[in-house]
Amino acid sequence: MMPLQSVYMIRLSLAWLLLSTLVGAVLLVHKAYGIHPSAWLLLPLHFEMAIWGWMVQLVIGTAYWMFPRFLRIDIRGPELPAWIMVFLFNSGLFLILSGHMVKSASGLILSGRILLLTGIGIFIYLIWSRVISYRNL
Amino acid sequence: MPKISRLFIKSGIIYFFLGMILAFVAEMPFVNTGALLLPVYWHMIVVGWVTQIIMGVSIWMFPRIGKERKKTETTPAYLAFWLLNSGLILRFTIEPFIPLFSANKAVSAVVLISALLHISAIISYITEIWPRVRTRPIKVRRSE
C-alpha cells in the first residue's frame, strides 16, 4: 500500500511537472514570437521545477514507497520525519522559485536550498537502513 | 509489461542515444552552432529519455484501479505518448532554425503547435496516473 507521504510527493511532483511544462512552453513560444524580453527570467524556474520538483521528488516518493520495509509495526520508520521531509522539500523549492522571481529579496534562494537539502538529508536518514535484503535472514 | 510502456521506454532509449550523439556533435571543434543545439539535446535527454522512461515505468508499475487490474492500455496513456512524441519531433526539427526564420509565420506556428502538444501530453499523462497514486486500492465487487 502506498503511504500517504508518497501520495503527496508523487502528486506534488506531477503538479510541478505541469507547471514546468507550462513555463517551458511559454519560453519556446517566446523564442518564435518574442512575447516579452523578460520572459527569459522564467528559465531558471523551468529548470528548478523540472529537476527538483518533478524528477527528484518523484524518485524520493517512489523509493519511500517501494524500498524494503522493516519487520515491525512502523514498517517505513517514524512517520513524523517523513512528513517533515515532504514539507521541507516543497517549501524549499517554493522559496528557491520565489528567490528567482524576486531578485531584490536576497537570501530566499539560499534559505530554499537549505530547506531542500534538509529534506533530502531526512530522506537519506529514512531510506539508509531500508537498503537491505531479508533473503538470508 | 503493457504495450504502451514498451513504446515509452523504447522511444526513451532512442532519444537517449540521439541526445548523446547530438551533444557529442555539438562539442566537435569544426561544428560552430553556438548554443543552438543545446536546448535540443538537453530536452532529448531530460524529456525524451528520463521523463518518457518515468512515464512508461509508472504506467506499468503503479497500482491499477477497478476493472483496469489487467495490464491493459488506456486512452490517456496512448494520447500522452503520441502527443508528447509528435510535439518533441516537431520541436527538435524546428528549434535550431528559429533564429534563422524568426519572421516566418509558418515556423512560428509549428513552434506554437509543438508547445501545445507538450502541454496536452502532460495533461493526458497526469489524467492517467493521478487516480492511481493513492493509499489503498479501491475494491470493486464483481456483479453476479
> Range of A57's domain?
4-128
Beta-carbon-side half-sphere exposure of residue B38 (alpha carbons within 13 Å) = 5
Identify whether A13 is part of a domain: yes
Name residue A71's amino acid: L
In this prediction, residues B43-67 reach a mean pLDDT of: 91
Residue B33 has pLDDT above 80, yes or no: no
Say what the pLDDT of residue B69 is: 57
Say what the pLDDT of residue B79 is: 95
Residue A127 has pLDDT above 90, yes or no: yes
Which pairs with CB-CB distance under 8 Å and at least 24 residues apart come from A64-70? Answer: A64/A3, A64/A5, A64/A6, A64/A9, A64/A123, A64/A126, A64/A127, A65/A2, A65/A3, A65/A6, A67/A127, A67/A130, A67/A131, A68/A130, A68/A131, A68/A132, A68/A133, A68/A134, A69/A130, A70/A129, A70/A130
Identify whether A136 is part of a domain: no
In this prediction, residues B104-128 reach a mean pLDDT of: 94
**Poorest-confidence range of A62-76, A87-101, B14-28?**
A62-76
Residue A121 has pLDDT above 50, yes or no: yes
Identify whether A44 is part of a domain: yes
**Poorest-confidence range of A17-21, A100-104, B118-122?**
A100-104
Which residue has cell 509489461?
Answer: B1
Residue B67 has pLDDT above 80, yes or no: no
d(CA A77, CA A82): 9
Report how far apart, in Å, the C-alpha atoms of A86 and of each of A83, A91, B37, B94, B110 are: 5, 9, 36, 39, 39
Which pairs with CB-CB distance under 8 Å and at least 24 residues apart come from A34-41? Answer: A34/B102, A41/A100, A41/A101
What's the mean per-residue pLDDT of chain A? 92
Cβ-nearest to B111 among A6, A7, A29: A29
Identify whether B139 is part of a domain: no
Q: How many domains does chain B have?
A: 1
Identify whether A18 is part of a domain: yes
| Shortest CA distance from A4: residue in chain B | B135
- Under 8 Å between Cβ of A74 and A5: no
What's the mean per-residue pLDDT of chain B? 88
Identify whether A133 is part of a domain: no
- Chain B residues at the A interface, defined by Cβ less than 8 Å, are 46, 50-51, 54, 63, 91, 95, 98, 102, 107-108, 111-112, 114-116, 118-119, 122-123, 126, 129-130, 133-137
Identify whether A46 is part of a domain: yes
In this prediction, residues A64-86 reach a mean pLDDT of: 89
Identify whether A137 is part of a domain: no
> Range of B59's domain?
3-132
Identify whether B144 is part of a domain: no
Identify whether A134 is part of a domain: no
Query: Which pLDDT tens digit goes with each residue over B17-26?
Result: 999 999 998 8
Identify whether B143 is part of a domain: no
Rounded to two decimals, the pTM is 0.90
Q: How many domains does chain A have?
A: 1
> In Å, how far is B123's CA from the nearest CA of chain A?
7
Say what the pLDDT of residue B144 is: 42
Say what the pLDDT of residue B105 is: 86
Could you write out the DSSP letters of every residue in A96-127? HHHHHH-TTSTTHHHHHHHHHHHHHHHHHHHH
- Under 8 Å between Cβ of A9 and A64: yes
d(CA A50, CA A14): 10
Identify whether B23 is part of a domain: yes
**Poorest-confidence range of A32-41, A67-76, A88-97, B65-74?**
B65-74
Query: Which pLDDT tens digit goes with each residue over B123-143?
Result: 999 999 999 998 876 555 555
Identify whether B141 is part of a domain: no
Identify whether B99 is part of a domain: yes
Report how far apart, in Å, the C-alpha atoms of A21 and of each of A27, A85, A123, B106 are: 10, 25, 26, 23
